[in-house]
Amino acid sequence: MYKIEQIEGGVCAATGFFADGISAGLKLNNNKDMAFIYADTLCDIASTFTTNKMAAAPIKHFKAKGEFKTNFVLINSKNANAMTGIAGLKDIEEVLSHLPSQVNNPVMSSTGVIGVRLPKEKLIAGLAKFDLSQKNPTAAAQAIMTTDSFKKEIAFKVTLSDGSFFHIGAMAKGAGMINPAMATMLCFITTDADIASLKMQKILDDTVMTTFNAASVDGDTSTNDTVMLLSNSKSGAFDESAFEDALYQVMEFLAKQMVKDGEGATKLVTYKVTGAKSDDEAEVVAKALSNSLLVKTALYGEDPNWGRIASTVGASGAYAKEETLTISFDNVCVYEKGNLYFNAELEPKAAAIMKKDEFTIYCDLGLGNGTFTAFGCDLGYEYVKINADYRT
Amino acid sequence: MYKIEQIEGGVCAATGFFADGISAGLKLNNNKDMAFIYADTLCDIASTFTTNKMAAAPIKHFKAKGEFKTNFVLINSKNANAMTGIAGLKDIEEVLSHLPSQVNNPVMSSTGVIGVRLPKEKLIAGLAKFDLSQKNPTAAAQAIMTTDSFKKEIAFKVTLSDGSFFHIGAMAKGAGMINPAMATMLCFITTDADIASLKMQKILDDTVMTTFNAASVDGDTSTNDTVMLLSNSKSGAFDESAFEDALYQVMEFLAKQMVKDGEGATKLVTYKVTGAKSDDEAEVVAKALSNSLLVKTALYGEDPNWGRIASTVGASGAYAKEETLTISFDNVCVYEKGNLYFNAELEPKAAAIMKKDEFTIYCDLGLGNGTFTAFGCDLGYEYVKINADYRT
């Protein structure tokens, strides 16, 4: 057995990790726009990146290094360093060359506007403001925000049955959640768990599938999406189940925070799909629902228009039948295997659920044992406003 | 050689076709909501329906009849008769049983809210208002509208080199064009061309692919989508090339009208993708662009944010490379194979194109000979408003 407690400290919660965020002048009004994570010993790295064919320069730079350990991550917002070719890679090298000598194999991560060269003079000047002994995780979490309306960080202490314990902390950014994967998400996780480096990547990959990817569409990702896990093993403590559980809680929390912060979003909706012919088919349906504009706008209008749910299920490509489908909003069943329950009595009950900030839409396809849960938000006027004016 | 001239008359332009639209009381304020197309002889039928697994009752009713000829199509708006099970099929039978005796094998088509039983008493009462000798194509085109802001009809006279001629006319509805295929589109085409019944279906299928499906995503269609072609051969005239050309012009015109009438749309944008590894890959890219919310909102904001174009190309799943990609807005090239052309001089030129009502975004992938052209519109506040409030 083990115990997981939420604690303060974000990416600095684990022993030996430091972080801060400063203003390098990329954002207006001295808002923070550059952050670091520093570790006082070299860390193992596990990572997942965008599948976008136009992956940004920092991702290419990371991948070109092959196997390595690092003790430093530099992150900037406001400029994605994407579609910048060889010049973008050289810009990274130049910026990183100005780091102090205790930094080893530094990596960089960027988010912001695509197709503009990195303002490297500003970044290099900003490096002088860094103090690697600082533990300001919240400043770092603020510095990586773009259209996010709030910073996203979390940390847990995990105590094992023998009394030993380790920490795991993280920060993330991401808010363009209409099709979640289409706006950049960054997530940096630090831990002092004594995890074997070979296990880290597999556990990270598995957890991404049920958290960040549950709020997204495979293969349809931004140029800069990055999830990175750094481990320094300093605690000496480890238990695989406990670590998996804690990592899941970290990433699920951050994924839900991103959906809640969806541009202009007012609701967090969970889509629980069951009864599909397979888990893959359930995933197709759940993601089709969480990405459907007609569903999202109905959510915003707080209109229990379950016909759009049914139509989206039918259009998803997964096997589905009118005669076996059941749809519920929380505990209110609006359609069951051909029975139109929707009447003057039921509609207000369903409408009341639609007014909640968080609720669940259940879709049972009635065909098999496949299940998947996805997270989504509504689409309101603010989304249009934010995205129509993004660069200005 | 042949000559194609646009003429008046919509679905009544071809010899022997009659149509009208009346109010049966489904829409408020006596707005027209029920239409017919009647032919004074039996017609061959070609048709294409939604691939949605929740296909509406009228589509199931049609398909269950097998091979047949008809001389009557009944269309209602405001109620989709979808997700209504066996009851929905029986409702159709009951409504159609009240038609006059000169009607043979009548078919029905519906569009509107999903999951509500057909108000058959109103429809049956409405049938009494029909006068099958009427030629009011515009009234019919108005009656089939839902969120459409204007009626959509077109007709051509096609004169062949020997002086013989035939007519082709059509009406359509469809406006939910954010992902075009997710809102119902109906299209009814009538012709007196002397086309062999066996050829009709193939020509219709091929033309749908480059017109309505070019404004849509395969397999992601509403419960009621229908394209139907009726031919009575009365002209005695036919030429395959001329017919194909005329049918393409009819359907391309209506597809573009639907995109222009996209809910809240202010622009019609054509996406010409070239240089893909195959035509299929070009289609994937063109449809990804025309369906991307980040692209659509940038269009609405009139922001020449070509980075979103590049990112969407990269996320489409098609093979693409930063080093071979070229992007232009009309004749203004903003990105060419790694060259960032976007500067203070170019940006106003690109921004000026974005302000136009119609323009073309060219994407050359630089990898092969695959091409595809898709049509799309922008996404504005009105889309959210229309869809958040749809049922009310």
Q: B214-258, pLDDT tens digit by residue?
A: 875 434 578 999 999 999 999 999 999 999 999 999 999 998 888
Q: Is B337 on the interface with A (CB under 8 A)?
A: no
> What are the counts of helices (DSSP H) followed by strands (DSSP E) for chain A?
11, 15
Q: How many CB atoms lie within 10 A of CB B330?
A: 16
Q: What is the pLDDT of residues B334-370, one digit of tens each?
A: 999 988 766 778 888 999 999 999 999 999 999 999 9
Q: Which of A212-216, B162-166, B297-301, B381-385 has the lowest mean pLDDT?
A: B381-385
Instruction: Report DSSP letters for A203-232, one per residue.
Output: HHHHHHHHTGGGGS-TT---SS-EEEEEE-
For B331, which DSSP code? T
pLDDT given at position A378: 81
Q: Percentage of residues in chain B with pLDDT exceeding 70?
A: 92
Report d(CA B145, CA A4) in Å as an integer. 57
- Among residues A273, A269, A251, A252, the alpha carbon closest in space to that of A260 is found at A269
A90 CB-near residues (< 8 Å, 6+ apart): none
**For the residues B307-311, what does the mean pLDDT come to?**
90
> For residues A385 and B2, what is the distance between their CA atoms, to the nearest angstrom?
50
**For residue B222, which of A317, A316, A315, A363 has the smallest C-alpha distance?**
A315
Residue B14 or residue B208, greater confidence: B14
- Of B184, B221, B274, B312, which one is the catalytic site residue? B184
The minimal CB distance from B182 to the residues A219, A305, A315 is found for: A315
**Bridge partners, residue A45, by sequence:** A230
Please answer yes or no on whether B82 and A53 come within 8 Å at the CB atom: no
Give A379 to chain B, closest Cα distance, Å: 7
From A35-49, A198-212, B196-210, B288-302, the region with the lowest mean pLDDT: B288-302
- The percentage of residues in chain B with a pLDDT greater than 90, rounded to a whole number, is 69
Interface test with A, best of B51, B322, B326 (most A CBs within 10 A): B322
pTM of the model: 0.84
Query: Residue B294 and residue A82: Cβ atoms within 8 Å?
Result: no
Mean pLDDT of B43-62: 94
Give bridge partners of residue A358 from the DSSP assignment: A268
B315:A222 CB<8 A: yes
Assign B188 to helix, strand or coil: strand
Burial status of residue B15 (CB atoms within 10 A of its CB: 0-12, 13-18, 19 or more): middle
Q: In what order do the strands lie in the sheet with A268-276?
A: A339-340, A332-336, A326-329, A358-364, A268-276, A370-377
Strand B70-76 and strand B226-231: the pairing is unpaired
Per the listing, tokens 């196997």 go with: A67
pLDDT given for residue A299 in this prediction: 83
* ipTM given for this complex: 0.83
Tracing tokens 């795991």 back to the chain, one arrives at A168
A residues 110..149 contacting B (CB < 8 A) = 113-117
- Chain A CB within 8 Å of residue B218 CB: no
Ordered DSSP codes for A32-83: --EEEEEEEEEEEEEEEE---TT--HHHHHHHHT-S--EEEEEEE-SB---S
Q: d(Cα A8, Cα A170) in Å, to the nearest integer?
A: 11
Is 70 exceeded by the pLDDT of residue B385?
A: no
- In this prediction, residues B83-110 reach a mean pLDDT of 97
Q: Given an 8 Å threshold on Cβ–Cβ distance, is B182 in contact with A335?
A: no
A89 touches chain B (CB under 8 A): no
Return the pLDDT at A68: 95
Mean pLDDT across chain B = 90
Structure tokens at A178: 């209409």
> Is B167:B155 a contact under the CB 8 Å cutoff?
yes
Q: What would the pLDDT profile of B268-279 be if each residue is shown by its tens digit?
A: 899 999 999 999
Determine whether the interchain pair B388/A301 forms a contact, defined as Cβ–Cβ distance below 8 Å. yes
H or E stretch including A283? helix A279-291
Pure H helices in B192-292: 197-210, 240-260, 279-291
pLDDT for the residue A263: 66
- The angle subtended at Cα A124 by Cα A118 and Cα A125, nearest 5°, is 120
Number of H helices, E strands in chain B: 11, 15
Q: Burial, A330: exposed, middle or buried (Cβ in 10 Å; 0-12, 13-18, 19+)?
A: middle
pLDDT in tens, A264-294: 778 889 999 999 999 999 999 998 898 887 7
Nearest CB to B115 within list A53, A340, A383: A340
Closest among B316, B308, B325 to B284, alpha carbons compared:
B316
Residues of chain A with pLDDT under 70: 175-183, 216-220, 263, 341-342, 381-392
Q: Which of A388, A390, A302 is nearest to A353 (CA)?
A: A302
Tokens for A139? 């400043």
